[in-house]
Structure 1
Amino acid sequence: MIGEKAKTTTRLLLSYVALAVIAVFCIYPSIWVLMSSFRTGDALFSDTIIPTSYTFSHYTELFAKRPFGVWYFNTLKIAVSSMIIGTILTLLTGYALSVFRFMGRKNLMSLLLVLGLFPGFMSMIAIFILLNQMNLLNTHAAVIIVYAAGAPLFFLFSKSYFDTIPRSLIEAARMDGAGHMPIFFRIVIPLSTPLIVFTALMTFTGAFTDFIFAKLVLRTPEKKTLAVGLFDMIGDRFSTEFTMFAAGCVLAAVPVTILFILMQRYLVEGLTTGADKG
């Protein structure tokens, strides 16, 4: 009995040690960037992580020397639009695959799962050609369409969540004469708050932080997003505005960090609910 308790305590201690080490590796770079944004001068390198002198000039210079406000607005517009459209498409896809039984359903789910395993940049050339033929290059609409259209590939969470909703509710609504869309929006959606929050936040974060596709499509300065604008700020070989870049990274991380903190409870529920059903 004592031996079992000792083993359990040892496992628990090792788990905490491992989590502490992972936390250090994750938090240390963030603290370095945060402290560098207040450091005087342009260099990120320093002998100490805590600056010897502080300045807020890098934050004001972002808006004075660069169109940072325009980049921020563009990013929020793209991220919010992609979140709304992508969340609706993902929920509808998961609901259809959970509730309806039709020919080729399992094959379709397998196909979507396989397509979701491939990195998105593998289709960049084909998407670029299509957007060019549609005269959508260098437009925010092109980025929003691609982000939203790719969201349903990750339908598995929504499908698993909808599997946990009692079928008796849906069948009772059908017997009362309700159609599929009223059932979905009036019965299923009100019961799916954790799933909606999780899906919306993941879609928003993906669109907000994406760089590769936005860099491929958006060309002119007034169309750039935060990721593209910050990269171009230090992309030149003669660029030295590294502390200003750190300040931009801090401001870019603010909305995503706040959303994750506020929605943490719903994220956990959205991830775990339906884990025992498929």
Structure 2
Amino acid sequence: MTLFATYKDKSDGVIRFYDLKERRNRIAIVLIYAACILMSFLFLYPVVWLLFACFKDTNELFQSLSIIPQELDLAGLARSWKRLDFGNAYFWSLYQCVGCVICSVVFNGLCGYALGVVKMRGHKLVWSLLMALLLVPSTGGFVVLYRSFVQLGINQGQIWPLYLGSGGSPFTIMMFKVFFEGIPRDYFEAASIDGANHVNIFSRIILPLSTPIVAITAINAFTGAWSDFLMPYLCLKNSGHETVMVKLFMQTGQGANVLDQLRASLFSVIPPIIFFCIFQKYIMNNNTLSGVKG
């Protein structure tokens, strides 16, 4: 009884121990859990099937209905990796992702700093324009961007132009601006009194206090750059600098067998998962900011 008595407040959460005292609530909770388990199965089954299928040989893949392979063909993964030249694709994809993450954090963060902290002249107009740009799909400026690459001669085998799209995201600028406005201005005033300029304030005060938003931006930039296909395909195809997504697409027209394509799909999803697992803990951090006393 003491356990139930502890959860009498209606603000305890969606599912409370106190609700379990009523039969209809117990039935509803069971149905909710059953629906969640079913949805989880529908989402996880293709991933689990792909994982086990990559360890099968070609005959077992088409003849056996069992998900779990009879024998684990570990050498097959190494053969597919070497045959598809995925090491080179991994290198260029990571090269692109690192540049996109840096540009996204630095340039979008500086824009958010100018709008949320400095509040330069005309910042309200710029903020209104950013809100309007949120209504424009990301592909809306694709033609103009690619034509600019062609006219500048940077559309053939050069990967650094792909960084430019990550450095001017209206949504990311909006997140930085809103987050920076929640940081007490006492920090900025104290730093200004000590002679710090805007660069020092941004790099030594703002960024260390903004770990959650930096982690979110890094995850979005990394996954977006890793899964980007169209622009890398137009700029990097047949240059020896193909990214993972371009390499994965090119295998469909180069006579690669189904097993190699499945293994290539598995190779392509591993880095984003690892990157998310590393940085997701920073998103959940409670960014406790205390005021400056005195």
TM-score by length of 1: 0.84
Is 1:201–2:222 an aligned residue pair?
A: no
1:23-74 CA deviation, whole Å, 9 max, x = no partner?
A: 2222111112111211211896662322344323442223432221111100
* Aligned residue-pair number: 270
1:216 pairs with 2:238:
no
Could you tell me which of 39, 48, 55 is aligned with 1:31? Answer: 48
| Structure 2 counterpart SS, 1:155 | helix
1:68 alignment partner AA: F
CA drift of 1:200 comes to 1.4
Q: Deviations over 1:85-133 (max 9, x none)?
A: 2111121122222113344323322322332343322322211111000
Would the aligned equivalents of 1:72 and 1:225 in 2 still touch at CA under 8 Å? yes
- Name the Cα RMSD after superposition: 2.9
Does the aligned pair in 1 maintain the 2:105–2:217 contact within 8 Å? yes
Change (3 A) 1:43 1:113: farther
Matched position secondary structure for 1:182: helix
Distance 1:159 1:31, change over 3 A: same
Is 1:16–2:39 an aligned residue pair?
no
| Unaligned stretches of 5+ residues in structure 2 | 1-7, 9-17, 290-294
Q: Structure 1 residues 47, 3: CA separation in 2 closer, same or farther (over 3 Å shift)?
A: closer
Of Structure 1 and Structure 2, which has the larger fraction of its residues in helix?
Answer: 1
Question: Normalising by structure 2, what TM-score?
Answer: 0.80
SS of equivalent to 2:155: coil
Match of 1:41 in 2: 58
Q: 1:52 to 1:43 in 2, by over 3 A?
A: closer
CA–CA separation in structure 2 for the residues paired with 1:34 and 1:144? 32
Range with greater deviation from structure 2 (108-117 or 87-96): 108-117
In structure 2, the partner of 1:141 is 160
Which of structures 1 and 2 has the larger relative contact order (alpha carbons within 8 angstroms, sep 6+)?
A: 1
| Residues 3 and 22 (structure 1), Cα distance of their counterparts in 2 relative to 1, 3 Å cut | closer
133-142 or 107-116, which deviates more: 107-116
Identity of aligned residues (%): 30
Could you say which residue in structure 1 is the equivalent of 2:261? 245
Mean alpha-carbon deviation: is it higher for 12-21 or for 117-126? 12-21
Q: Aligned-pair distance for 1:175?
A: 2.6
TM superposition shift of 1:264:
2.2
Q: Are residue 90 (structure 1) and residue 108 (structure 2) matched?
A: yes
